[in-house]
A = this chain, B = another copy of it.
Protein backbone atom coordinates (compact mmCIF):
# COMPACT_ATOMS: atom_id res chain seq x y z
CA UNK A 1 0.00 0.00 0.00
CA UNK A 2 2.04 2.85 -1.37
CA UNK A 3 1.42 6.58 -1.21
CA UNK A 4 1.58 7.83 -4.80
CA UNK A 5 1.54 11.38 -6.16
CA UNK A 6 0.45 11.54 -9.79
CA UNK A 7 0.55 14.66 -11.94
CA UNK A 8 -1.46 14.98 -15.16
CA UNK A 9 -0.76 17.81 -17.58
CA UNK A 10 -3.11 19.91 -19.69
CA UNK A 11 -3.26 17.50 -22.64
CA UNK A 12 -4.00 14.54 -20.32
CA UNK A 13 -7.07 16.42 -19.04
CA UNK A 14 -7.86 18.16 -22.34
CA UNK A 15 -11.57 17.32 -22.38
CA UNK A 16 -14.16 15.44 -20.34
CA UNK A 17 -13.32 12.13 -22.05
CA UNK A 18 -9.68 12.46 -21.10
CA UNK A 19 -10.60 13.48 -17.56
CA UNK A 20 -12.64 10.26 -17.33
CA UNK A 21 -9.60 8.35 -18.64
CA UNK A 22 -7.50 9.85 -15.87
CA UNK A 23 -10.16 8.83 -13.36
CA UNK A 24 -10.02 5.24 -14.63
CA UNK A 25 -6.24 5.24 -14.35
CA UNK A 26 -6.40 6.57 -10.79
CA UNK A 27 -8.94 3.85 -10.02
CA UNK A 28 -6.51 1.08 -11.03
CA UNK A 29 -4.03 2.34 -8.44
CA UNK A 30 -6.77 2.73 -5.84
CA UNK A 31 -8.06 -0.75 -6.55
CA UNK A 32 -4.70 -2.27 -5.74
CA UNK A 33 -4.75 -0.46 -2.39
CA UNK A 34 -2.58 2.58 -3.01
CA UNK A 35 -3.27 5.96 -1.47
CA UNK A 36 -3.32 8.46 -4.31
CA UNK A 37 -2.82 12.24 -4.48
CA UNK A 38 -3.48 13.64 -7.95
CA UNK A 39 -2.18 16.99 -9.19
CA UNK A 40 -3.75 18.40 -12.35
CA UNK A 41 -3.17 21.27 -14.74
CA UNK A 42 -5.83 23.37 -16.44
CA UNK A 43 -7.58 21.73 -19.38
CA UNK A 44 -5.59 22.38 -22.55
CA UNK A 45 -6.54 25.75 -24.03
CA UNK A 46 -8.24 27.13 -20.91
CA UNK A 47 -5.23 29.11 -19.69
CA UNK A 48 -4.52 30.55 -23.14
CA UNK A 49 -8.15 31.54 -23.47
CA UNK A 50 -8.07 33.38 -20.14
CA UNK A 51 -4.83 35.13 -21.07
CA UNK A 52 -6.53 36.18 -24.32
CA UNK A 53 -9.43 37.75 -22.40
CA UNK A 54 -7.05 39.67 -20.15
CA UNK A 55 -4.93 40.89 -23.07
CA UNK A 56 -8.09 42.02 -24.88
CA UNK A 57 -8.62 44.40 -21.97
CA UNK A 58 -5.07 45.47 -21.22
CA UNK A 59 -1.69 44.80 -22.84
CA UNK A 60 -0.03 44.64 -19.44
CA UNK A 61 -2.49 43.21 -16.93
CA UNK A 62 -1.64 43.26 -13.23
CA UNK A 63 0.21 40.12 -12.19
CA UNK A 64 -1.82 39.83 -9.01
CA UNK A 65 -5.03 39.78 -11.05
CA UNK A 66 -3.56 37.38 -13.63
CA UNK A 67 -2.98 34.95 -10.79
CA UNK A 68 -6.58 35.43 -9.61
CA UNK A 69 -7.70 34.76 -13.18
CA UNK A 70 -5.46 31.86 -14.15
CA UNK A 71 -5.85 29.95 -10.88
CA UNK A 72 -9.43 29.22 -11.97
CA UNK A 73 -8.20 26.91 -14.75
CA UNK A 74 -6.79 24.28 -12.42
CA UNK A 75 -9.69 24.76 -10.01
CA UNK A 76 -12.07 23.68 -12.75
CA UNK A 77 -10.08 20.55 -13.55
CA UNK A 78 -9.86 19.35 -9.95
CA UNK A 79 -13.64 19.61 -9.54
CA UNK A 80 -14.29 17.77 -12.82
CA UNK A 81 -11.84 15.00 -11.93
CA UNK A 82 -13.46 14.59 -8.51
CA UNK A 83 -16.84 14.27 -10.23
CA UNK A 84 -15.37 11.69 -12.63
CA UNK A 85 -13.95 9.65 -9.72
CA UNK A 86 -17.28 9.78 -7.88
CA UNK A 87 -18.91 8.39 -11.02
CA UNK A 88 -16.58 5.37 -10.60
CA UNK A 89 -17.59 5.12 -6.94
CA UNK A 90 -14.20 6.34 -5.73
CA UNK A 91 -14.37 8.75 -2.78
CA UNK A 92 -12.45 11.82 -3.87
CA UNK A 93 -12.13 15.43 -2.82
CA UNK A 94 -10.59 18.36 -4.63
CA UNK A 95 -8.44 21.04 -3.01
CA UNK A 96 -7.20 24.35 -4.37
CA UNK A 97 -3.52 25.04 -3.85
CA UNK A 98 -4.39 27.16 -0.83
CA UNK A 99 -6.62 24.47 0.66
CA UNK A 100 -3.87 21.90 0.13
CA UNK A 101 -1.58 24.00 2.31
CA UNK A 102 0.77 25.21 -0.43
CA UNK A 103 2.23 28.47 0.85
CA UNK A 104 4.26 30.60 -1.56
CA UNK A 105 6.13 33.87 -1.57
CA UNK A 106 4.34 36.91 -2.97
CA UNK A 107 5.95 37.07 -6.41
CA UNK A 108 2.83 36.91 -8.54
CA UNK A 109 2.87 34.84 -11.78
CA UNK A 110 6.14 33.15 -10.75
CA UNK A 111 5.82 32.48 -7.07
CA UNK A 112 8.16 30.12 -5.25
CA UNK A 113 6.82 27.51 -2.85
CA UNK A 114 7.80 28.57 0.67
CA UNK A 115 6.42 25.53 2.45
CA UNK A 116 3.66 22.96 2.36
CA UNK A 117 1.49 22.02 5.33
CA UNK A 118 -0.29 18.92 4.08
CA UNK A 119 -2.48 18.44 7.15
CA UNK A 120 -5.73 18.49 5.19
CA UNK A 121 -4.36 16.12 2.57
CA UNK A 122 -3.34 13.62 5.27
CA UNK A 123 -6.78 13.86 6.90
CA UNK A 124 -8.55 13.21 3.61
CA UNK A 125 -6.22 10.31 2.76
CA UNK A 126 -6.88 8.83 6.20
CA UNK A 127 -10.62 9.07 5.48
CA UNK A 128 -10.05 7.02 2.34
CA UNK A 129 -10.27 9.80 -0.23
CA UNK A 130 -8.32 10.25 -3.40
CA UNK A 131 -7.09 13.82 -2.94
CA UNK A 132 -7.01 16.03 -6.02
CA UNK A 133 -4.85 19.14 -5.81
CA UNK A 134 -4.83 22.09 -8.21
CA UNK A 135 -1.36 22.37 -9.70
CA UNK A 136 0.43 25.61 -10.55
CA UNK A 137 -1.02 27.58 -7.62
CA UNK A 138 -0.68 28.46 -3.97
CA UNK A 139 -1.46 31.20 -1.51
CA UNK A 140 0.71 33.67 0.36
CA UNK A 141 0.68 33.88 4.13
CA UNK A 142 -1.55 36.94 3.67
CA UNK A 143 -4.14 34.95 1.71
CA UNK A 144 -3.30 36.18 -1.80
CA UNK A 145 -3.73 33.64 -4.59
CA UNK A 146 -0.48 33.06 -6.49
CA UNK A 147 0.65 30.96 -9.44
CA UNK A 148 4.00 29.27 -9.86
CA UNK A 149 4.71 30.14 -13.49
CA UNK A 150 5.71 27.81 -16.33
CA UNK A 151 6.01 24.18 -15.34
CA UNK A 152 4.23 25.02 -12.11
CA UNK A 153 2.04 21.93 -12.04
CA UNK A 154 5.06 19.63 -12.27
CA UNK A 155 6.55 21.57 -9.41
CA UNK A 156 3.37 21.12 -7.35
CA UNK A 157 3.56 17.37 -7.95
CA UNK A 158 7.23 17.08 -7.01
CA UNK A 159 6.86 19.36 -3.99
CA UNK A 160 3.83 17.46 -2.69
CA UNK A 161 5.69 14.17 -3.14
CA UNK A 162 8.49 15.63 -1.01
CA UNK A 163 6.17 17.06 1.66
CA UNK A 164 4.12 13.87 1.88
CA UNK A 165 7.21 11.64 1.68
CA UNK A 166 5.43 9.76 -1.08
CA UNK A 167 6.67 6.36 -2.16
CA UNK A 168 6.33 7.26 -5.82
CA UNK A 169 5.84 10.39 -7.90
CA UNK A 170 4.56 9.99 -11.45
CA UNK A 171 4.52 12.79 -14.00
CA UNK A 172 2.02 11.79 -16.68
CA UNK A 173 2.43 13.52 -20.00
CA UNK A 174 1.84 12.86 -23.70
CA UNK A 175 5.21 11.19 -24.34
CA UNK A 176 6.37 7.77 -23.19
CA UNK A 177 9.32 9.09 -21.22
CA UNK A 178 12.72 10.60 -21.87
CA UNK A 179 14.44 9.50 -25.08
CA UNK A 180 18.09 9.39 -26.11
CA UNK A 181 17.14 11.91 -28.81
CA UNK A 182 14.04 13.42 -30.36
CA UNK A 183 12.47 10.41 -32.14
CA UNK A 184 11.04 12.71 -34.81
CA UNK A 185 14.62 13.43 -35.93
CA UNK A 186 16.45 10.27 -34.90
CA UNK A 187 14.29 7.22 -35.63
CA UNK A 188 16.64 4.94 -33.69
CA UNK A 189 16.22 6.96 -30.50
CA UNK A 190 15.49 4.79 -27.47
CA UNK A 191 13.43 5.43 -24.39
CA UNK A 192 15.62 5.59 -21.29
CA UNK A 193 14.71 3.44 -18.29
CA UNK A 194 16.41 5.87 -15.99
CA UNK A 195 18.29 9.13 -16.05
CA UNK A 196 20.03 11.26 -13.43
CA UNK A 197 18.72 14.67 -12.34
CA UNK A 198 21.79 16.36 -13.82
CA UNK A 199 21.41 14.64 -17.17
CA UNK A 200 17.73 15.51 -17.21
CA UNK A 201 18.61 19.15 -16.54
CA UNK A 202 21.18 19.24 -19.32
CA UNK A 203 18.74 17.57 -21.67
CA UNK A 204 15.98 20.07 -20.83
CA UNK A 205 15.98 21.12 -24.45
CA UNK A 206 15.95 17.56 -25.72
CA UNK A 207 13.35 17.02 -28.45
CA UNK A 208 10.43 16.16 -26.21
CA UNK A 209 10.58 19.12 -23.83
CA UNK A 210 9.33 16.95 -21.03
CA UNK A 211 9.80 19.16 -17.99
CA UNK A 212 10.92 22.61 -16.93
CA UNK A 213 14.28 22.54 -15.21
CA UNK A 214 13.00 24.14 -11.99
CA UNK A 215 10.93 21.05 -11.18
CA UNK A 216 13.93 18.79 -11.81
CA UNK A 217 16.11 21.05 -9.67
CA UNK A 218 13.52 20.90 -6.89
CA UNK A 219 13.38 17.09 -7.14
CA UNK A 220 17.17 16.91 -7.01
CA UNK A 221 17.32 19.20 -3.99
CA UNK A 222 14.79 17.15 -2.03
CA UNK A 223 15.76 13.76 -3.44
CA UNK A 224 12.35 13.08 -4.98
CA UNK A 225 12.56 10.12 -7.34
CA UNK A 226 9.96 10.51 -10.07
CA UNK A 227 8.79 8.76 -13.20
CA UNK A 228 7.93 10.48 -16.47
CA UNK A 229 5.38 8.42 -18.37
CA UNK A 230 2.49 8.59 -20.79
CA UNK A 231 -1.15 9.04 -19.79
CA UNK A 232 -2.16 7.46 -23.11
CA UNK A 233 -0.83 3.92 -22.52
CA UNK A 234 0.47 1.64 -19.77
CA UNK A 235 4.12 1.57 -20.81
CA UNK A 236 6.64 2.11 -18.01
CA UNK A 237 8.30 5.50 -18.32
CA UNK A 238 11.67 6.94 -17.37
CA UNK A 239 12.77 7.09 -13.74
CA UNK A 240 14.58 10.31 -12.82
CA UNK A 241 16.83 10.03 -9.78
CA UNK A 242 20.28 10.66 -8.31
CA UNK A 243 23.03 9.17 -10.45
CA UNK A 244 24.17 5.64 -9.70
CA UNK A 245 27.38 3.75 -10.43
CA UNK A 246 25.50 1.86 -13.10
CA UNK A 247 24.60 5.08 -14.91
CA UNK A 248 28.25 6.05 -15.17
CA UNK A 249 28.94 3.04 -17.34
CA UNK A 250 27.06 4.78 -20.14
CA UNK A 251 29.11 7.63 -21.56
CA UNK A 252 26.42 9.45 -23.52
CA UNK A 253 22.87 9.31 -22.21
CA UNK A 254 21.27 11.50 -24.83
CA UNK A 255 21.75 13.79 -27.78
CA UNK A 256 19.81 17.02 -28.08
CA UNK A 257 19.45 19.61 -30.78
CA UNK A 258 18.25 23.15 -30.09
CA UNK A 259 17.18 24.96 -33.24
CA UNK A 260 15.78 27.92 -31.41
CA UNK A 261 19.01 29.82 -30.88
CA UNK A 262 20.66 32.64 -32.79
CA UNK A 263 24.35 33.61 -32.73
CA UNK A 264 25.80 37.10 -32.43
CA UNK A 265 29.48 37.80 -33.02
CA UNK A 266 31.18 41.10 -32.16
CA UNK A 267 34.33 41.44 -34.21
CA UNK A 268 37.48 43.11 -32.80
CA UNK A 269 36.26 43.83 -29.28
CA UNK A 270 39.00 45.73 -27.36
CA UNK A 271 40.80 43.10 -25.27
CA UNK A 272 40.76 44.84 -21.88
CA UNK A 273 39.21 44.13 -18.49
CA UNK A 274 35.56 45.00 -17.93
CA UNK A 275 34.44 44.99 -21.55
CA UNK A 276 32.75 41.59 -21.49
CA UNK A 277 31.15 42.47 -18.17
CA UNK A 278 29.77 45.69 -19.63
CA UNK A 279 28.27 43.88 -22.63
CA UNK A 280 26.59 41.05 -20.72
CA UNK A 281 25.37 43.36 -17.94
CA UNK A 282 23.60 45.44 -20.61
CA UNK A 283 22.08 42.32 -22.19
CA UNK A 284 20.93 41.11 -18.78
CA UNK A 285 19.37 44.48 -17.97
CA UNK A 286 17.41 44.25 -21.22
CA UNK A 287 16.25 40.72 -20.25
CA UNK A 288 17.98 39.15 -23.24
CA UNK A 289 18.57 35.44 -22.64
CA UNK A 290 22.20 34.46 -23.19
CA UNK A 291 23.19 30.81 -23.39
CA UNK A 292 26.67 30.05 -24.74
CA UNK A 293 29.48 32.63 -24.65
CA UNK A 294 32.75 32.10 -26.48
CA UNK A 295 35.66 34.45 -26.77
CA UNK A 296 37.59 33.62 -29.93
CA UNK A 297 41.26 34.04 -30.76
CA UNK A 298 42.77 37.50 -30.76
CA UNK A 299 43.50 39.22 -34.03
CA UNK A 300 47.12 39.51 -34.93
CA UNK A 301 47.98 43.15 -35.51
CA UNK A 302 47.23 46.56 -33.98
CA UNK A 303 45.62 47.06 -30.55
CA UNK A 304 44.81 43.85 -28.70
CA UNK A 305 41.29 42.77 -29.76
CA UNK A 306 39.24 39.62 -29.72
CA UNK A 307 36.08 38.25 -31.34
CA UNK A 308 33.25 37.64 -28.89
CA UNK A 309 30.30 35.38 -29.75
CA UNK A 310 27.22 34.48 -27.82
CA UNK A 311 23.94 32.68 -28.49
CA UNK A 312 20.50 33.88 -27.54
CA UNK A 313 16.94 32.64 -28.08
CA UNK A 314 15.79 33.58 -31.56
CA UNK A 315 12.89 35.76 -30.30
CA UNK A 316 15.43 37.81 -28.31
CA UNK A 317 17.71 38.48 -31.27
CA UNK A 318 16.28 41.85 -32.29
CA UNK A 319 16.47 43.07 -28.70
CA UNK A 320 20.07 41.80 -28.45
CA UNK A 321 21.09 43.62 -31.63
CA UNK A 322 19.63 46.86 -30.29
CA UNK A 323 21.59 46.54 -27.03
CA UNK A 324 24.81 45.78 -28.92
CA UNK A 325 24.34 48.63 -31.40
CA UNK A 326 23.74 51.05 -28.52
CA UNK A 327 27.01 49.94 -26.90
CA UNK A 328 29.11 50.30 -30.04
CA UNK A 329 30.11 54.00 -29.62
CA UNK A 330 31.06 53.41 -25.99
CA UNK A 331 33.10 50.22 -26.44
CA UNK A 332 34.25 50.62 -30.02
CA UNK A 333 34.20 47.16 -31.57
CA UNK A 334 34.02 46.40 -35.26
CA UNK A 335 31.40 44.58 -37.25
CA UNK A 336 28.45 42.78 -35.62
CA UNK A 337 27.44 39.50 -37.28
CA UNK A 338 24.12 37.93 -36.36
CA UNK A 339 22.81 34.66 -37.73
CA UNK A 340 19.72 32.60 -37.06
CA UNK A 341 20.75 29.61 -39.17
CA UNK A 342 22.50 27.71 -36.41
CA UNK A 343 21.77 24.63 -34.37
CA UNK A 344 23.15 23.79 -30.95
CA UNK A 345 23.98 20.08 -30.75
CA UNK A 346 24.70 18.60 -27.31
CA UNK A 347 25.67 15.24 -25.92
CA UNK A 348 24.94 14.58 -22.25
CA UNK A 349 25.97 11.86 -19.83
CA UNK A 350 27.27 11.53 -16.28
CA UNK A 351 29.64 8.89 -17.61
CA UNK A 352 31.68 11.58 -19.37
CA UNK A 353 33.20 12.53 -16.05
CA UNK A 354 35.17 9.29 -15.99
CA UNK A 355 35.68 8.77 -19.73
CA UNK A 356 38.24 10.82 -21.61
CA UNK A 357 38.26 11.43 -25.34
CA UNK A 358 34.51 11.98 -25.62
CA UNK A 359 34.88 15.48 -27.05
CA UNK A 360 37.53 14.34 -29.49
CA UNK A 361 35.28 11.53 -30.71
CA UNK A 362 32.37 13.94 -31.18
CA UNK A 363 34.48 16.42 -33.15
CA UNK A 364 35.85 13.59 -35.29
CA UNK A 365 32.35 12.41 -36.19
CA UNK A 366 31.35 15.96 -37.14
CA UNK A 367 34.49 16.38 -39.25
CA UNK A 368 33.75 13.17 -41.12
CA UNK A 369 30.23 14.49 -41.81
CA UNK A 370 31.77 17.70 -43.20
CA UNK A 371 30.21 19.79 -40.41
CA UNK A 372 32.10 22.91 -39.37
CA UNK A 373 32.06 23.72 -35.63
CA UNK A 374 31.38 27.40 -34.96
CA UNK A 375 31.37 27.42 -31.15
CA UNK A 376 32.19 24.88 -28.44
CA UNK A 377 31.09 24.84 -24.82
CA UNK A 378 31.58 22.06 -22.31
CA UNK A 379 30.50 21.18 -18.79
CA UNK A 380 31.30 18.14 -16.67
CA UNK A 381 28.50 16.11 -18.19
CA UNK A 382 27.76 17.90 -21.47
CA UNK A 383 29.48 18.96 -24.66
CA UNK A 384 27.67 21.46 -26.89
CA UNK A 385 28.64 22.70 -30.32
CA UNK A 386 27.08 25.35 -32.52
CA UNK A 387 26.89 24.25 -36.15
CA UNK A 388 25.20 25.20 -39.41
CA UNK A 389 21.45 24.63 -39.11
CA UNK A 390 21.31 23.06 -42.56
CA UNK A 391 23.55 20.19 -41.41
CA UNK A 392 22.28 19.96 -37.84
CA UNK A 393 19.92 17.00 -38.15
CA UNK A 394 22.42 15.00 -40.21
CA UNK A 395 25.04 15.72 -37.55
CA UNK A 396 22.65 14.72 -34.78
CA UNK A 397 21.92 11.36 -36.40
CA UNK A 398 25.61 10.66 -36.90
CA UNK A 399 26.50 11.51 -33.31
CA UNK A 400 23.57 9.45 -31.97
CA UNK A 401 24.58 6.49 -34.12
CA UNK A 402 28.18 6.64 -32.96
CA UNK A 403 27.52 7.04 -29.24
CA UNK A 404 24.17 5.33 -28.68
CA UNK A 405 23.20 3.25 -31.69
Residues of A within 8 A of B (CB): 16, 19-20, 50, 53-54, 56-58, 61-62, 64-66, 68-69, 71-73, 75-76, 78-80, 82-84, 86-87, 93-94, 96, 99, 143, 145
Instruction: List chain B residues, Cβ under 8 A from A20.
Output: 57
A69 near B62: Cβ-Cβ < 8 Å: no
Instruction: List chain B residues, Cβ under 8 A from A78.
Output: 68
Q: How many monomers of this protein are in the complex? A: 2
B72 near A58: Cβ-Cβ < 8 Å: no
B71 near A75: Cβ-Cβ < 8 Å: yes
Residue of B nearest to A120 (CB): B143
Q: Give the complex CA separation of A179 and B8 in angstroms.
A: 53
A84 near B69: Cβ-Cβ < 8 Å: no
B50 near A76: Cβ-Cβ < 8 Å: yes
Sampled A-B contacts (20; CB under 8 Å): A16-B56, A50-B76, A54-B79, A54-B83, A57-B80, A57-B87, A58-B84, A58-B86, A61-B86, A62-B82, A62-B86, A65-B79, A66-B79, A68-B75, A68-B78, A68-B94, A68-B96, A69-B83, A72-B75, A72-B76
Min distance, Cβ A21 to any Cβ of chain B, angstroms: 11
Q: Give the complex CA separation of A84 and B61 in angstroms.
A: 8
Q: Give the complex CA separation of A72 and B82 in angstroms.
A: 16
Min distance, Cβ A64 to any Cβ of chain B, angstroms: 7
Residue of B nearest to A77 (CB): B69
Cβ 8 A contact of A19, one of B57, B61, B73, B143? B57
Min distance, Cβ A223 to any Cβ of chain B, angstroms: 31
Given contacts A65-B80, A96-B145, 17 further A-B contacts (CB under 8 A): A16-B57, A20-B57, A54-B79, A54-B80, A58-B83, A58-B86, A58-B87, A61-B83, A65-B82, A65-B86, A66-B79, A68-B75, A68-B78, A69-B75, A69-B76, A69-B80, A99-B143
Instruction: List chain B residues, Cβ under 8 A from A86.
Output: 58, 61-62, 65
A62 near B83: Cβ-Cβ < 8 Å: yes
Min distance, Cβ A388 to any Cβ of chain B, angstroms: 45
Closest 6 CB pairs of A and B: A69-B79, A72-B72, A68-B79, A58-B87, A61-B83, A16-B56
Cβ 8 A contact of A57, one of B50, B64, B71, B84? B84
Residue of B nearest to A20 (CB): B57
Min distance, Cβ A217 to any Cβ of chain B, angstroms: 30
Instruction: List chain B residues, Cβ under 8 A from A16.
Output: 53, 56-57
B71 near A83: Cβ-Cβ < 8 Å: no
Min distance, Cβ A300 to any Cβ of chain B, angstroms: 58
Instruction: List chain B residues, Cβ under 8 A from A84.
Output: 57-58
Instruction: List chain B residues, Cβ under 8 A from A19.
Output: 57
Q: Give the complex CA separation of A3 and B19 in angstroms.
A: 45
Min distance, Cβ A284 to any Cβ of chain B, angstroms: 28
Q: Give the complex CA separation of A84 and B172 in angstroms.
A: 37
Instruction: List chain B residues, Cβ under 8 A from A80.
Output: 53-54, 57, 65, 69
Q: Give the complex CA separation of A164 and B363 in angstroms.
A: 74
Instruction: List chain B residues, Cβ under 8 A from A145.
Output: 96
Residue of B nearest to A144 (CB): B99
